[in-house]
Amino acid sequence: MEFKEVVKNRYSCKKYSSRQVEAEKLAAILEAGRLAPTAKNLQEQHIYVVQSPEILGKIDELTPCRYGAPTVLVVAFDKDNVFTYPGDKRDSGAEDAAIVATHLMLAASNEGVDSCWLNFFDPDKAAEVLGLPENEEVLMLLDLGYAAEGVGPLPNHDSRKPLSETVTYL
């Protein structure tokens, strides 16, 4: 798909059918995450693929925002393997994981798979409930699947500020 179409077609899907994401499409999505850039090429991300009813049930205890998605990707990162930027105020952990997550989300769109980026959960509780190692922090969850019949973007999907409000040429 043309990149412009990939970006244009993506929207946050808030109700899924039970149709599972095909293994080859999931593989292509995960590969796009693998190719994401990270600071110093640290690749501190760790992606967990959740498809079992048992663990999907645990996700439902963490957030109301699975919306019936049959696959959820948990994007975590190794807190002990991040690059701290000069000034010591920020490090690469969340940033790198967000770039990986964006690759995953756009690759899903490219595969015709619907998605929704989720942050409406307590990341500490998520790490505990999912049994992640101590050194890993959950950045976000990515719902993946196919929209239920009749479901499409919410009205706010088309509401974006003009570039004149968000871009300044210095």
Ligand X SMILES: Cc1cc2nc3c(=O)[nH]c(=O)nc-3n(C[C@H](O)[C@H](O)[C@H](O)COP(=O)(O)O)c2cc1C
Tokens of 42: 């640290």
| Among 119, 122, 125, 152, interactor with ligand X by CB under 6 A | 119
Cα three-residue angle 156-76-159, rounded to 5 degrees: 10
Pick from 75, 47, 50: which is nearest to 61 by CA?
50
| Residue number, 11 or 77, with CB nearest to ligand X | 11
CB proximity list for 45: less than 8 A, separation 6 or greater: 33, 36, 38, 75, 76, 77, 96, 97, 100
Instruction: Please report whether residue 120 would count as binding ligand X according to CB under 6 A.
Output: yes
Least distance between ligand X and beta carbon 170 (Å): 26
Least distance between ligand X and beta carbon 77 (Å): 15
Size of the site for ligand X (CB under 6 A): 13
| Residue number, 27 or 119, with CB nearest to ligand X | 119
- Judged by the rule CB under 6 A, the positions of this chain that interact with ligand X are 11-12, 14, 65, 116-120, 153-154, 156-157
